[in-house]
A and B are shown apart, each in its own frame.
Chain A
Amino acid sequence: MKILVCISNVPDTTTKIRFTTDNNSIDTTGIQWIINPWDELALTRALQMKEDPAMSIESITVINVGSTGTEPTLRKALAIGADNAIRINAEPTDAYFTAGQIARVIQQKSFDIIICGIESSDHNGSSVGGMIAEFLEIPSVSAVSSLAVDQNKIRIHRDIDGGREELTVPVPFVAVVQKGIAKEPRIPAMRGIMMARQKPMEVMQPEDVPCMTNIAGYESIPAKTPCKMIDPGDVRQLVQLLQNEARVF
């Protein structure tokens, strides 16, 4: 089976977000770009699956829609252990466009398991995975917390209200994965970094897919009212505030 892991190139979590003077885009000066943390867990799980001979995973490809600036992020994915990378040479203007581009590559190259992280830490959209599946009219499973190939069949767990479900799904399909899929993301070792330089990185030109949405502008988060401090000896006051002011119970 062939795995495709979709990789988003996002600012490091600790980045302070600033806008350009017209508030229409993010000021990228000094931003450290990383693999979206949830995609990194997805890649980690893909590698664990490939290491298990019983799962017969043939290859792991990583894909990103982005300009040349995202290549270091894809190289890092190769250094962690992916076999090859594809970059679609276009700005990922919206989820619909991005998913349409990736779907087309899947159609051409045929993958069995397509994995996306639950969301990207920039636009927090949770959209691309489901959209890819609908473009291709193949199944998608979201909130996936475990993924394995068991005697040539896909075995998945997903969280539901009050517990979890175990399910099977035919390939090809899209798994949208969350915490639990892998414990820790892998860190590239020196050998991996050396090897990554030799691994293939294919650049493909985008196809004509429309954008459905536009960024009209950014706003800062309004200043929060300062935290109300309560004396540790007066817990009752906290309960009263939660009951009467916040009205949460």
Chain B
Amino acid sequence: MSVLVFTENWDGKFKKLSFELVSYASDLAGMLGTGVTAVSIGRVEQVELKKLAEYGASRIIDVRDEALTGLDNQAYTQVIADLAEKEKPSVLVISNNNTGKAIAPRLSVRLKAGLVSGIIGLPVSLNPFTVRKKVFSGKAIVRMEIKSPVKVLTLSQNSYELKKAEKETAIESDGAKLSPGSIKTLISKVEKQTGRIILTDADIVISGGRGMKSPANWGPLEELAGILDAALACSRPVSDEGWRPHEEHTGQTGKIIAPNLYMTFGISGAIQHLAGVSSSKFIVAVNTDKDAPIFEAADYGIVGDALKVLPELIREIKTIKTQ
């Protein structure tokens, strides 16, 4: 009856969101009076796996199968569902990121387990099992009850504090027993650019709007993104004008993001834009118009010209980064 948490890795390394998940699962297991079983799929070194124990994983299952190199939704579902049938967890915890959105719905059907995605905290009640999530693109919160004995939850990124809770942990390896032909999606080409961070998973996102005045002015935003390991984003007018690629557009009909920090430069913050970014934990706004709606959504604001503020900001951040 444990809490089973799926911890994704990126080229063999965990990210902050993996530890957020384990912290969450650990506190949830505490409420349920049980332990946390972490499942890792793919090649991850023991020393990296042990980090999961620091946040409260009481067991770690290390699944390796050469066939599981790319994300095949069906194969990942199969592996986790097989483990769930063996371990009989009462709750499965997964990130609400790209991978989580790909596999959690499948697991829900496979295990006949009710799913609530994008939850923002621990259950407010265990009987009935009730969790909270944001709905209407951040305009309301709903309390959802899950009626099935087994539950699947996906945790909204950056919504749970990391908590150290060192546990004695055994790492068990588990060979996935995928039958031949179970990988249906064939990856024919991978295009990677070093330093390019996926927008939907980025911890920090730097975003430019029409207030940047010209595509030629993007240099400082790129520099800032480089210093902070951040992803670049933009508002819709910017991608419509062709100043930036459409992949960078955040907002309604754009990418939906929930970073730890969303820094906007020259974005007024129309409701359509905010619909895609309202789950960001902190928002910084730099805009010349003091009445722009972005300041209603922002935590920190500067009324000023982004082009003048940026060089100063880069200098100050460089100073603290080199300290």
Of residues 92 through 144 on chain B, the ones whose CB sits less than 8 Å from some CB of chain A are 96, 98, 101-110, 112-118, 128, 130, 132-144
Query: Which of B31-39, B145-153, B211-219 lines the interface with chain A?
Result: B145-153
User: Is the C-beta of A140 less than 8 angstroms from some C-beta in chain B?
Assistant: yes
Q: Which residues of B contact A140 (CB under 8 A)?
A: 73-74, 102, 106
Of residues 286 through 313 on chain B, the ones whose CB sits less than 8 Å from some CB of chain A are 295-305, 308-309, 312-313
- Assess the A37–B117 pair: CB atoms within 8 A: no
User: Is the C-beta of A167 less than 8 angstroms from some C-beta in chain B?
Assistant: yes
User: Is the C-beta of A201 less than 8 angstroms from some C-beta in chain B?
Assistant: no
User: Is the C-beta of B253 less than 8 angstroms from some C-beta in chain A?
Assistant: yes
| Chain B min CB distance to A186 (Å) | 13
Query: Which of B57-65, B166-174, B181-189 lines the interface with chain A?
Result: B181-189
- Assess the A139–B114 pair: CB atoms within 8 A: no
| Chain B min CB distance to A13 (Å) | 5
- Assess the A232–B228 pair: CB atoms within 8 A: no
Kindly identify which residue among A179, A185, A218 contacts B255, using a CB–CB cutoff of 8 Å: A179
Kindly identify which residue among A127, A216, A221 contacts B105, using a CB–CB cutoff of 8 Å: A127
Instruction: Name A23's closest neighbour in chain B (CB-CB).
Output: B143
- Assess the B256–A118 pair: CB atoms within 8 A: yes
Q: Which residues of B contact A163 (CB under 8 A)?
A: 190-193, 196
| Chain A min CB distance to B280 (Å) | 11
- Assess the A121–B136 pair: CB atoms within 8 A: yes
User: Is the C-beta of A122 less than 8 angstroms from some C-beta in chain B?
Assistant: yes
Given contacts A140-B73, A212-B108, contact A230 B101 (CB under 8 A): no
User: Is the C-beta of B320 less than 8 angstroms from some C-beta in chain A?
Assistant: yes
Chain A interface, DSSP helix/strand/loop, else mixed:
mixed
Given contacts A134-B105, A163-B191, contact A227 B303 (CB under 8 A): no
Q: Kindly state the separation between the CA atoms of A139 and B191 in the bound complex, as whole angstroms.
A: 22
Kindly name the residue among B135, B281, B296, B297 whose own CB sees the greatest number of chain A CB atoms within 10 A. B135
Q: Which residues of B contact A46 (CB under 8 A)?
A: none
Q: Kindly state the separation between the CA atoms of A121 and B300 in the bound complex, as whole angstroms.
A: 27
Q: Which residues of A contact B254 (CB under 8 A)?
A: 179
Kindly identify which residue among B140, B147, B188 contacts A214, using a CB–CB cutoff of 8 Å: B147
Query: Which of B21-29, B44-52, B83-91, B244-252 lines the interface with chain A?
Result: B244-252
User: Is the C-beta of B66 less than 8 angstroms from some C-beta in chain A?
Assistant: no
Kindly identify which residue among A134, A169, A218 contacts B141, using a CB–CB cutoff of 8 Å: A218
Given contacts A179-B249, A228-B301, contact A142 B109 (CB under 8 A): no
- Assess the A159–B198 pair: CB atoms within 8 A: yes
- Assess the A218–B142 pair: CB atoms within 8 A: yes
| Chain B min CB distance to A126 (Å) | 4
Q: Which residues of A contact B191 (CB under 8 A)?
A: 163-166
| Chain A min CB distance to B323 (Å) | 10
Kindly name the residue among B109, B140, B196, B282 whose own CB sees the greatest number of chain A CB atoms within 10 A. B109
Q: Kindly state the separation between the CA atoms of A40 and B252 in the bound complex, as whole angstroms.
A: 12
- Assess the B271–A162 pair: CB atoms within 8 A: no
- Assess the A165–B189 pair: CB atoms within 8 A: yes
Q: Which residues of A contact B256 (CB under 8 A)?
A: 118-119, 124
Q: A166-B189, A227-B298 known; 16 other A-B pairs, CB under 8 Å?
A: A13-B275, A130-B109, A133-B106, A134-B108, A140-B74, A159-B98, A159-B198, A160-B192, A161-B10, A163-B192, A173-B184, A180-B247, A213-B146, A221-B140, A239-B313, A246-B299
- B residues near A (Cβ < 8 Å) are 10, 70-74, 77, 96, 98, 101-110, 112-118, 128, 130, 132-148, 184-201, 204, 228, 246-247, 249, 252-256, 260-261, 271-272, 275, 281-282, 284-285, 295-305, 308-309, 312-313, 316-317, 320-321
